[in-house]
Copies of this chain bind each other. A is one copy, B any other.
């Protein structure tokens, strides 16, 4: 490598690191918002829910910054195949994180509504457990990206099965509460949406993990993607994809 090339490479790396730092900041905020939103729901803490909604704006701004900086990096440094793929991956990861942030915000918003309804026993605790699992998946997926660790990324993919199963169990529970007493219907609809949104966050963490695998191995972990939901023709099945 000529001295000139080396210089160019290190400038690229420095710029990329700056963008990665933004991604990690986004990741930290999203994880905190998931945690806080689930806690706000469990403790019926409207103030904490409000804090999550405010903090989501910062996440949105960070996503825009990542997109701008990544586009600038591509335009200025004309990265070649491998480096370009990394920058495009970073852009996709920021989109996944921003979506997770939106779901956490939505959870917080519904908390503001649910505090005015009678509680559905045990639901908030189950939801908090599910949120903790997803938060952990996101953390590991971002670690896998930083360390270019395809094995770790694969673990994240497989943990998504647990989240799917938690979702299925919750859905059946909500259905039972609704059938038992129509006065539970509205609250259960909100709780069901919350559970579904957390399950979607798990899908986004999985998507990050899959991009890491693609970045490291050059192969997209294709079909069959592990699916926790084995009841896809079941009347109770509510899976999304």
By a beta-carbon cutoff of 8 Å, the part of chain A in contact with chain B is: 64, 67, 71, 74-75, 78-81, 84-85, 88, 91, 95, 102, 105-106, 109, 112-113, 116-117, 175, 178-179, 182, 185-186, 189-190, 192-193, 197, 220, 232-241
Find chain B residues with CB under 8 A from A109 CB.
Answer: 232
Q: DSSP class of A's interface residues: helix, strand, loop or mixed?
A: helix
**Total copies of this chain within the assembly:** 2
Find chain B residues with CB under 8 A from A232 CB.
Answer: 109
Are B178 and A185 closer than 8 Å at their CB atoms? yes
Find chain B residues with CB under 8 A from A71 CB.
Answer: 84-85, 88
**Smallest CB–CB gap between A74 and chain B, Å?**
6
Given known contacts A235-B117, A241-B105, A179 and B185 CB-to-CB distance under 8 angstroms:
yes
* 23 A/B residue pairs, CB under 8 Å, sorted by A: A67-B88, A71-B88, A74-B74, A74-B84, A75-B80, A75-B81, A78-B78, A102-B241, A106-B239, A106-B240, A109-B232, A113-B235, A116-B235, A117-B235, A175-B189, A178-B178, A179-B182, A185-B185, A186-B235, A186-B236, A189-B238, A193-B240, A197-B240
